[in-house]
Amino acid sequence: MLPKDFSQELLLEWGISIGMAIVVFLVGRIVINVIVKIAKHAMEKGGMDALLVNFVSSIMRWVLMLFVIIAALEQLGVDTTSLVALLGAAGIAVGLALKDSLQNFASGVMLIVFRPFKNGDFVDAGGVTGVVEHIGIFTTTMKTGDNKEVIVPNGQVYGGTITNFSARSTRRVDMVVGIAYDADIRKAKNILLDILNADERVLKDPAPVVAVSELADSSVNFVVRPWVNSGDYWAVLWDTNEKVKYAFDEAGIGIPFPQMELHVNKAE
């Protein structure tokens, strides 16, 4: 049986250790809240995305809390060296197991920080062409032209070429129009220019371009390049193709198409 004085001394020592551990934990939590609050305010003031701000704040809070817990355990006399080594080994194992997820996470952070596109942009990224609906930490959600929802891993998006069709306020419509060799080139060119100049959606600056680009095997090809607001791109492209066909038909200008001549030698 332990002497009474020794028992009291042991209880007092344990009581002080427990008290110090509680103080370290409580003070640590207060300090963490202050640090996270300051960091969050700085990130928000810097214009960082709200999703990334919340995520980074949560990660920061849990990492700092881990240090506080280790410091509190040290006050109780617990050897934290082996605990830290165990946590490090566990972290490596988890990192290897979640390699793809971590890659998607890192890519998501890059997408949010560098902003190659934003919600509502029409892009070609990760093998998908559509409108961006949501940029998450691990995936990006896109809506295709036929109203399908496609969820693309961020690693696939950020690791490939990103074409943002909405990044600029204007776009150039590139069309190639072919006419027959026996057609009047000047007349065809004037018709094409009249069609573009009559369309209010076609911008005057830069001016539209109509020029002979190629003397092909069966046609004389014009490049037709009007500049339009990005939102008018497809409408102008489709409408112009239709107007060109009607105008050429009325003017008697032929548009070549593939043909095959079959010669049959009839035996006597």
Lowest mean pLDDT among 35-49, 128-142, 246-260: 35-49
Lowest mean pLDDT among 3-7, 69-73, 80-84, 257-261: 3-7
Residue 4 in this model has a pLDDT that exceeds 60? no
Taking the C-alpha atoms of residue 188 and residue 195, their distance in angstroms, rounded to an integer, is 11
User: Residue 61 has what pLDDT?
Assistant: 84
Taking the C-alpha atoms of residue 117 and residue 164, their distance in angstroms, rounded to an integer, is 7
User: Residue 222 has what pLDDT?
Assistant: 96
Q: Which residues have CB under 8 Å from 70's CB, separation 6+?
A: 80, 83, 84
Residue 163, CA distances (Å) to 43, 151, 197, 228, 244 in order: 28, 17, 29, 18, 29
pLDDT per residue as tens digits for the range 154-168 = 999 998 899 999 889
Asked whether the beta carbons of 222 and 210 are under 8 A apart, the reply is yes
Taking the C-alpha atoms of residue 230 and residue 193, their distance in angstroms, rounded to an integer, is 21
Q: Which residues have CB under 8 Å from 22's CB, separation 6+?
A: 72
Taking the C-alpha atoms of residue 137 and residue 158, their distance in angstroms, rounded to an integer, is 12
Residue 17 in this model has a pLDDT that exceeds 90? no
What residues form DSSP beta bridges with 134?
A: 141
Tokens (6 digits) for 225:
């390049």
pLDDT per residue as tens digits for the range 43-95 = 778 776 666 677 677 778 878 888 888 888 777 776 666 666 666 666 666 55
Residue 8 in this model has a pLDDT that exceeds 70? no
Question: For residue 256, which of 182, 192, 189 has the smallest C-alpha distance?
Answer: 182
Q: Tell me the average pLDDT across 8-16.
A: 68
Average pLDDT, the chain: 84
Residue 100 in this model has a pLDDT that exceeds 70? no
Q: Tell me the average pLDDT across 204-227.
A: 94
User: Residue 2 has what pLDDT?
Assistant: 47
Greater confidence, 260 or 144?
Answer: 144
Greater confidence, 80 or 23?
Answer: 23
User: Residue 49 has what pLDDT?
Assistant: 66
User: Residue 76 has what pLDDT?
Assistant: 73
User: Residue 200 has what pLDDT?
Assistant: 94
User: Residue 85 has what pLDDT?
Assistant: 64
User: Residue 260 has what pLDDT?
Assistant: 63
Name the most confidently modeled range: 1-5, 35-39, 262-266.
35-39
